[in-house]
Every structure is written in structure tokens, then in C-alpha cells.
Amino acid sequence: MTKNELRTCFNKARQDFVLSLNFSQITVAIQNVQSRLVDARLLSGTIGGYAAMTSELDPAPMFGIFRDNGHSIALPWFTDRSADMTFKMLDGPLERGPFGISQPSPENDMAEPDTILIPLVAADGYGNRIGQGQGHFDRYLAKSRKKRPIVAIGLAWECQIADQLPADPWDQPLDFIATPDRFIKVTS
Ligand SMILES: Nc1nc2c(c(=O)[nH]1)N(C=O)[C@@H](CNc1ccc(C(=O)N[C@@H](CCC(=O)O)C(=O)O)cc1)CN2
Ligand SMILES: Nc1ncnc2c1ncn2[C@@H]1O[C@H](COP(=O)(O)OP(=O)(O)OP(=O)(O)O)[C@@H](O)[C@H]1O
């Protein structure tokens, strides 16, 4: 299957799975991912999160605990649809961004996260990832990994983990994947 076919397939699986859960099942699943992330002791400095859309695993309920543990939180930020993805500190109200996803206000400080929690459509045990197909995280990781160490952790429902996905030369691997059921250190 091509990446596009896989994207369609895994998007549907994720949607169907999340629609089958009730509110408390979703809450417990997110708490499990949070515990796995904290127990792994990999979170450091500023944590790059994301404002979940559709049936993505939502990291927002974890932000309070991360802050209690001394971390700052940043979110992806875009000036427009053709701009590179950057991060700004999460502080105060969010605005609607160019992709319809909430983002910090333009006045907020830029951020350079040390740990990035990455949304995904599908991922495998080798750290390959399929996302929205615009390469935002691939380009961001390629550029920032040249300047500083970054721990990239994909957040996923278990049904998003594939045996093996195709990888393109520009794909930037995840270092770890956290699901409600397990914490995966990728095989490099
Ligand atoms: N929650 C979240 N935030 C994220 C991403 C993501 O995958 N999820 N991104 C990952 O790179 C970046 C934004 N990139 C995006 C690129 C394309 C589309 C997009 O094509 N959206 C469709 C609707 C998709 C849907 O409903 O499933 C659209 O606008 O028509 C969205 C985000 C940064 N922030
Ligand atoms: N470092 C890079 N420099 C230039 N273009 C890039 C780079 N990384 C990715 N791209 C481009 O971005 C697109 C990424 O497509 P791909 O299907 O791999 O995205 P994805 O990983 O699913 O998406 P995303 O990271 O937005 O969630 C490709 O068209 C590719 O050419």
C-alpha cells in the first residue's frame, strides 16, 4: 500500500476505535499514556505538545502534571498554511490557526522544545511515522536535530501501530512511541 492508502486506512481505524470508547475509557487511556511518559523519565525541559484534532490521542489533560513536574509546555504555531512549523509557549488563550487547529497567540514567546510529543496517523516499531502528509514534523525535526538533541515521542492508540511502514528519505524517525498499553523504544 502507498503512504496515502495507509493514511486513509489508519485514519478510519483510529476514528472507529475512538468512537467505540466512552468518556471514562478515553480518560483512563490518556492517564495511562501520561504514566508511561512520566515513568520513562524521558521528559525534559520544555515539552512540545499539540492541540488534538479528530480522534488523535489528546495530550492536553497531561499538561497540568507536566507543569507540576517543572516543565513548560509549547504548541505548534504557524503564521499561515505555507509557513514552516514553529513552536510557541502555551500561556493564555489559544487562537484558531491556519489548519483549523488551536495555537498560542502571536505575542507568545517562541519555544525550542527538548521533548516533542508527536501526533500521528500510524507508526511502527522502527520509528517510521505517517502523519498528515505535509511533512511539518519531518521538516521541524530535520532542522532542529542539527542544532540540539530532541527526544521525539509519538502518541498513539494501539490500533495505530503497524508492523512495518514504508519510509521516505526525508522521514525523521520517532525515538519512542507511547500508547495506553505500552511504551515502545524504537529499533534503530
Ligand atoms: N493535532 C495536530 N496538530 C498538528 C499536526 C497534527 O497532525 N495534529 N501537524 C502535523 O503535521 C501540524 C499541522 N499540520 C497539518 C497539516 C495538514 C492538516 C490537514 O490537512 N487537515 C485537513 C483535515 C484533516 C482531518 O480532518 O483529519 C484539512 O485541513 O482539510 C492538518 C494539520 C502541527 N499541528
Ligand atoms: N526535510 C525536508 N525538506 C523538504 N521537504 C520535506 C522535508 N521533510 C518532508 N518534506 C516534504 O513533506 C512531505 C512529507 O510527506 P509525508 O507523507 O512523509 O508526511 P507525513 O510525515 O505524513 O506528515 P507530517 O509530518 O506533516 O505529519 C513530502 O512532500 C516531502 O517532500
Q: Check if 166 has its Cβ closer than 6 Å to any atom of ligand 2.
A: no
Alpha carbon of 141 to ligand 2 centroid (Å): 11
Complex-level ipTM: 0.95
Q: What's 44's domain CATH number?
A: 3.40.50.10420
* 3 known member of a binding site: yes
Angstrom distance (rounded) from CA 14 to CA 6: 12
* 88 known member of a binding site: no
Q: 158 in helix, strand or coil?
A: helix
Closest CA to 75 of 23, 30, 26, 113: 113
pTM beyond 0.90, yes or no: yes
Q: Check if 53 has its Cβ closer than 6 Å to any atom of ligand 2.
A: no
Angstrom distance (rounded) from CA 179 to CA 182: 5
Q: Which of 11, 170, 171, 174 to mutate to test the pocket of ligand 2 (most atoms within 8 A of CB)?
A: 170
Instruction: List, in sequence order, the alpha helices (H) in 40-129.
Output: 63-68
Q: Which residue has the cell 498560542?
A: 104
* Atom 11 of ligand 2, nearest CA residue: 135
- Tens digits of per-residue pLDDT, 50-101? 999 999 999 999 999 999 999 999 999 999 999 999 999 999 999 999 999 9
What domain count does the chain have?
Answer: 1
Q: Is 90 exceeded by the pLDDT of residue 26?
A: yes
Is 36 in contact with 42 (CB distance < 8 Å)? no
* 7 known member of a binding site: yes
Pairing state between β 161-162 and 86-89? unpaired
Range of the domain at 25: 3-185
